[in-house]
Amino acid sequence: MSGTVFELDAFNAVIVGNGALGSAMLEALLGYAGLQRVFVLARNFGSSEPEQHTHNDGLNTRATAGHNNARVSRLSFDAEDPSTIASAAAQIASQVDTLHLVFNTVGLLHDAQHGPEKRLQNLKPDHLLRSFQINALVLPLLAQHFSKLMKHTQPAILASLSARVGSIADNNMGGWYSYRASKAAHNMLLRTIALEWRTSHRNASVVALHPGTVRSRLSEPFLTPRYKNTVLTPAESATCLLGVMRQLSADTSGVFLDWNNQPIDW
Ligand SMILES: NC(=O)c1ccc[n+]([C@@H]2O[C@H](COP(=O)([O-])OP(=O)(O)OC[C@H]3O[C@@H](n4cnc5c(N)ncnc54)[C@H](OP(=O)(O)O)[C@@H]3O)[C@@H](O)[C@H]2O)c1
C-alpha cells in the first residue's frame, strides 16, 4: 500500500464536532477534489445563528462551514450519549462502504459551572467524570463503531485531538486535573487501539494530535494579554494538522504529534 488518504482519487471522511477546529478541518478538507463524502457529527448545527464567516478569531466559523455543499452530511450526536455514536455510524454505513479519515475534535475544558482546577480542592467529581466521558470515552466508541468501515486495503487515518497538557511526562505545572487526566486517558486508549489495529487494520494510522494553542471557545478564557506563546487561528492549525496527517503511514501508527509534526512524550 502506498500514498496517503489525501492522494486518493476518492475518499470519505467523518469529522466529529463542529467547533473551531472541527469547522476549520471541514473547510480544509473541502479543498480536496478527492473528497467524496464528509459526515459531520455534532449536537448543534447552529441553523438559527446568523451567517458569519470569521476565520480570524475562530469563534464564529460554525455557521457557514460546508453550508449547502452536497458532499457534506450532518448527523446529530451527543458525546454524553453513546447510543448516538452507534446510530450515526449505522446511518453512515448505509451510505458509504469505506471511510478513510475519522477526525475527532470533541473536547471539554470548562463549562458554565466549572473551570479547570487550579488546585486539588477545586476538583469536583461530576466535572471529572464528565471530562472523561467527553474527552476520553468518545474515541474508543468511534473506533468500535467505525472499525468495519475503516478496514479496507486503502490508507485510513483515525485522528483524535489531544492536548500537550495530557502528557504525563510533560506535566511540570500541575493543576487542570480533569482536563489533564481525561486527555491522558484518551492517549492511553488511542495507543491501545493503535496496537490492536496494527494487526486488524493494517491500512490504518491511529494518531493523537496536539493542535497548538488555537483561538476557540475552549481556549478563549486563557488567551489573556499576558499569554505570550503562539496562538494559531483554527484555519492555520487545520492546515498544519493536514500537513502532519499527510506524512503518516500505517507503519508509524500510535504516535502523539503536535501541529509542527514534533513527537510529544506520552
Ligand atoms: N483550542 C486550543 O487551544 C486547544 C489546545 C489543545 C487541544 N485542543 C483540543 O482540540 C479539540 C477542539 O477544540 P476547539 O479549540 O475547537 O474548541 P471548541 O471550538 O470549543 O470545540 C469543542 C467541540 O467539542 C464539542 N463538544 C463538547 N461537548 C460535547 C458533547 N457533549 N457532545 C457533542 N459535542 C461536544 C463542542 O460542541 P458544541 O459546539 O455543541 O459545544 C465543539 O464542537 C478539543 O479536543 C480540545 O481539547 C484545543
pLDDT digits (tens, 9 = 90+) for 142-170: 999 999 999 999 999 999 999 999 999 99
Name the residue at shortest CA distance from atom 17 of ligand 1. 218
| Residue 233 pLDDT grade (very low, low, confident, very high; cuts 50, 70, 90) | very high
- pLDDT at 53 (0 to 100): 36
| Residue 211 pLDDT grade (very low, low, confident, very high; cuts 50, 70, 90) | very high
If you search the block for the grid coordinates 482519487, which residue do you land on?
9
Residue 3 pLDDT exceeds 80: no
Is residue 149 within 8 A of residue 92, CB to CB? The reply is yes
pLDDT digits (tens, 9 = 90+) for 58-112: 455 554 667 779 999 999 999 999 999 999 999 999 999 999 999 999 999 999 9
**DSSP category for residue 137:** I
Name the residue at shortest CA distance from atom 20 of ligand 1. 218
pLDDT digits (tens, 9 = 90+) for 177-192: 999 999 999 999 999 9
Separation of 17 CA from ligand 1 center, angstroms?
7
Residue 35 pLDDT exceeds 90: yes
Q: What percent of the chain has pLDDT over 70?
A: 92
Name the residue at shortest CA distance from atom 1 of ligand 1. 214
* CA 81/CA 133 separation, integer angstroms: 9
Separation of 199 CA from ligand 1 center, angstroms?
31
Is residue 214 within 8 A of residue 231, CB to CB? The reply is yes
Amino acid, res. 215: R
Domains, the chain:
5-258 (3.40.50.720)
109 CA closest ligand 1 atom index: 47
Q: What percent of the chain has pLDDT over 90?
A: 89
Beta strands 35-42; 255-258: pairing state: unpaired
| Contacting residues for 36 by C-beta, under 8 A, at least 6 apart | 10, 11, 12, 71, 96
- pLDDT at 195 (0 to 100): 98
**Out of 21-25, 76-80, 225-229, 262-266, least confident range:** 225-229
164 CA closest ligand 1 atom index: 6
| Residue 51 pLDDT grade (very low, low, confident, very high; cuts 50, 70, 90) | very low
Segment 189-215 mean pLDDT: 98
- pLDDT at 48 (0 to 100): 43
Which residues have any ligand 1 atom within 6 Å of their CB? Answer: 17-22, 42-44, 78-80, 105-108, 134, 161, 163, 210-211, 213-214, 216-219
Q: Where are the beta strands (DSSP E) in 29-91?
A: 35-42, 72-76
pLDDT digits (tens, 9 = 90+) for 236-265: 999 999 999 999 999 999 999 999 999 999
Comparing 55 with 174, which gets the higher pLDDT? 174
- pLDDT at 104 (0 to 100): 99
- pLDDT at 56 (0 to 100): 42
Task: For ligand 1, pick from 21, 78, 81 the residue to mutate: most ligand atoms within 8 Å of CB.
Answer: 21
Separation of 153 CA from ligand 1 center, angstroms?
31
Name the residue at shortest CA distance from atom 6 of ligand 1. 163
Name the residue at shortest CA distance from atom 29 of ligand 1. 79
| Residue 2 pLDDT grade (very low, low, confident, very high; cuts 50, 70, 90) | low
Residue 116 pLDDT exceeds 70: yes
- Mean predicted lDDT score pLDDT of the chain: 93
